[in-house]
Chain A
Amino acid sequence: SQQGEEDPQALSIQEGENATMNCSYKTSINNLQWYRQNSGRGLVHLILIRSNEREKHSGRLRVTLDTSKKSSSLLITASRAADTASYFCATDANDYKLSFGAGTTVTVRA
């Protein structure tokens, strides 16, 4: 079953703009991870944030986590055409299994 739910389902932005997507989940977690999937490819791990962390950065990515609201956000700054992909949040409820959301499809227009 899917624990994480991403919002929006789809996002279209101009190159250079920022893209923000959100993830909500239902149960307590050990950590939350974000993955990217390009069309026809496997998922690629982007970033992991632990339950005791509130914010994390990796290059142009910024992830926040609010455990009181059971939500996370992924911000991609200065988007590029190569950022066009589907983005998934995944939660680890300390049972070593990742539960994935339905994903947000991001299209970056040149």
Chain B
Amino acid sequence: DAGVIQSPRHEVTEMGQEVTLRCKPISGHNSLFWYRQTMMRGLELLIYFNNNVPIDDSGMPEDRFSAKMPNASFSTLKIQPSEPRDSAVYFCASSDTGGYGYTFGSGTRLTVV
């Protein structure tokens, strides 16, 4: 298994532009999580999907952030419009029983200038 695959690995964009981050979870895992990591705030859970359905999006910071999971093998996190304070590393993680040992992707380092 290739693990959780995220793309792109790095993204540099200008303020105001739309950014889309992508994630392919491990096949068979029914839970998917998007986290954001910064030096100041550490790891923050943004949204949690179970069986492709968003269960908890209370961590999504603003309406500028949206996430979808159209099927069991793909999820996106979109920021529109992006702002410099969105600069962070965004991780996708998946799990087969919800919380029992997550498998993380390598992350997308987003820089908004």
Contact A97 B48 (CB under 8 A): yes
A42 within 8 Å of B (CB atoms): yes
Tell me the number of A-to-B contacts counted with CB atoms below 8 Å. Answer: 53
Q: A97 CA to B100 CA in the complex, in Å? A: 10
> B35, B99, B100, B106 — which one has the most chain A CB atoms within 10 A of its CB?
B99
Tell me the A residues contacting B by CB distance below 8 Å: 2, 30-31, 33, 35, 41-45, 48, 88, 92, 96-103
In the complex, which of the residues B42, B100, B107 contacts A100, with contact meaning CB atoms closer than 8 Å? Answer: B42
Interface residues on B, range: 20 to 34
Task: List, in ascending order, chain A residues with CB within 8 A of B100's CB.
Answer: 31, 48, 92
Most chain B beta-carbon neighbours within 10 Å: one of A31, A43, A88, A92: A43
Q: Within the complex, which residue of B42, B56, B103, B107 is in contact with A97, where a contact is CB–CB below 8 Å?
A: B56
The reply to whether A45 and B101 form a contact with Cβ atoms under 8 Å apart is yes
Chain A residue numbers with a CB within 8 Å of B103 are 45
Q: A42-B107, A44-B104 in contact; A96/B42 too (CB < 8 A)?
A: no
